[in-house]
A and B are shown apart, each in its own frame.
Chain A
Amino acid sequence: MKPFAYVRAGTVEEATDAFAAHPGARYLGGGTNLVDLMKLGVEAPAALVDVNRLPLGGVEELPDGSLRIGAMVHNSDLAAHPLVRDRYPALSQAVLAGASGQLRNAATTGGNLLQRTRCPYFQDLSKPCNKREPGTGCGALQGVHRDHAVLGYSDQCIATNPSDMAVALAALDASVELYGTEGARSVPAAGFHRLPGDHPERDTEIRPGELITGVVLPAGSAGPASAYRKARDRASYAFALASVAVVLHLADGVVDRVGIAFGALAHRPWRARRAEEALLGAAPTTAAFEHAVDLELAAAEPLQDNAYKVPLARRLALDVLGRLAPPAVT
């Protein structure tokens, strides 16, 4: 590992100023991904700006009924928070479906959104990877790609986003709050991560030096009718092969609010807009769910070794939609 300078920031402004003053800096949150990538040589920052002591560790209810999660709230505390569990069960379930107890105690809300892909070619300096080193090619395209994308990939990159949390945030219509030298702004969580296109080195819409300060969960998505389900190679402590987060509200016997996002199928959480459009105003029947999910997954273009993901994602989505529908009928 290359030596690096270390700066401990006490305020958001101190952090962004320190980042600007240190070329090649990275923000250090829980470090569960960054420290690992530094050990692997994938990341070699000249300086770390430690944001762990910023006053962003709280969960607060805003006047409009939305819930603001500070960027430094640890994953374990986010999943356990009574307001999160009661109002946004999909988020609590998604966080608890990821990593281990130890990692969730260290990992932060902001850091979870910025974790990098676990594509083995990205993590191996001896292999080509357009995400790690643009222009070197994609080792996974003709290589081992069982875990890779079936939607929205490019010939440059077929990596998937590994976060469970981000999938729930996308379905819940959350927004990501950012602060940089140009001031504060907010980005929808469903649009925070990018598709790879010709720039797979850019995972998100974040600008250089910008810091995630928090995540806001809207009042409109609150309620018991949301859930997350994940399929993986072992029962615990593994990344998703496919996952789904669903928010479903019914009124007068028809769907009046629905958010569906798939995980592990693409370079970003895949918000299933086509399926949602098909369901809005429809009666929550098995046939309607099947029609909507099939409409969405028709866009999938599996690679040689990951076609299993499409029926797997389909079954997960139908299971969660079916489970959410009956008790919500009023």
Chain B
Amino acid sequence: MDSDRASAGSRSPETHHSETTLRVNGKPHTLVVDHRRVLLDLLREDLGLTGAKKGCDHGQCGACTVLVDGRRVNSCLLFAVALDGSDVTTVEGLAGDGEELHPVQRAFLERDTFQCGYCTPGQICSAVGALAEAAAGHPSHVTDAAAPSGEPVPLDRDEIRERLSGNLCRCGAYPRIADAVEDVIP
């Protein structure tokens, strides 16, 4: 094997650490990471960004949801080393320049979508991702099969509930979460 070609990210096959650069909320960070480091732990432990929450740590609850290159993902299931060069947005970085809060954050506040609040950052990141997916024409399980391909999918209540099903709320604040997302539908 040509190790120079094939082992970018690690100097020798036996190495268990690699230098990794991630752009997090617009700011580049270069770290030497243990290959076992998942993005969630890197954000919380190494960068002090505790917005993304550790719920189940197995990709079942969605509390760790962040955006990687603009797409919502479970940060507990992504090895940081594999994300070298990626753009990560956490709940702390959602608001645009000169904005105090992202419109989805504001809607969550206005609708009082919280009980314990632990799932909230994941719900918000997931909602931001879901809105972008619908705008890009991504169907969901409840989208009418006859809907035209490639066109933005209008979101009704059933669509919102289905698209956010990867985010569990143990307090059961779902009705208000769906209200908040409905408020920001363009």
Cβ contact within 8 Å between A237 and B77: no
Q: Could you give, for residues 100-143 of chain B, a 1 whenever the CB lies within 8 Å of some chain A CB and a 0 otherwise?
A: 00000000000000000000000000100110010011111101
Q: Please provide the chain A residues from 73 to 132 with a CB less than 8 Å away from any CB of chain B in the complex.
A: 76, 79-80, 82, 85-86, 89, 92-93, 96-97, 99-103, 105-106
Q: Does A52 interact with chain B (Cβ within 8 Å)?
A: yes
By beta carbon, the residue of chain B nearest A3 is: B16
Q: Could you give, for residues 73-109 of chain B, a 1 whenever the CB lies within 8 Å of some chain A CB and a 0 otherwise?
A: 1100111011010000000000000000000000000
Cβ contact within 8 Å between A105 and B141: no
Complex Cα–Cα for A76 and B72 (A): 11
Q: Could you give, for residues 29-71 of chain B, a 1 whenever the CB lies within 8 Å of some chain A CB and a 0 otherwise?
A: 0000011101000000000000000000111001001000001
Cβ contact within 8 Å between B34 and A3: yes
Majority secondary structure, B binding face? loop
Assuming the A-B contacts A17-B6, A48-B79, A82-B150, are A4 and B36 also in contact, with contact meaning beta carbons closer than 8 angstroms in the complex?
Answer: yes
Residue numbers in B under 8 Å from A102 (CB-CB): 59, 62, 65, 72-74, 126, 129, 166
Residue numbers in B under 8 Å from A5 (CB-CB): 10, 13-16, 35
Residue numbers in B under 8 Å from A47 (CB-CB): 13
By beta carbon, the residue of chain B nearest A18 is: B6
Complex Cα–Cα for A5 and B13 (A): 6
Q: Does B9 interact with chain A (Cβ within 8 Å)?
A: yes
Cβ contact within 8 Å between B81 and A6: yes
Q: Does A299 interact with chain B (Cβ within 8 Å)?
A: no
Which of these binds chain B: A28-36, A185-193, A270-278? A28-36
A-B contact count, CB below 8 Å? 147
Residue numbers in A under 8 Å from B166 (CB-CB): 99-103, 237
Residue numbers in A under 8 Å from B77 (CB-CB): 31-32, 35-36, 103, 106
Q: Could you give, for residues 152-166 of chain B, a 1 whenever the CB lies within 8 Å of some chain A CB and a 0 otherwise?
A: 000000000111111
List the 8 closest A-B pairs by CB distance, nearest first. A100-B166, A236-B165, A82-B149, A3-B16, A237-B165, A80-B138, A14-B6, A21-B1
Residues of B within 8 A of A (CB): 1-2, 5-10, 13-16, 18, 34-36, 38, 57-59, 62, 65, 71-74, 77-79, 81-82, 84, 126, 129-130, 133, 136-141, 143, 145, 149-150, 161-167
Residues of A within 8 A of B (CB): 1, 3-10, 14, 17-18, 20-22, 28, 31-32, 35-36, 39-40, 47-48, 50, 52, 76, 79-80, 82, 85-86, 89, 92-93, 96-97, 99-103, 105-106, 227, 235-237
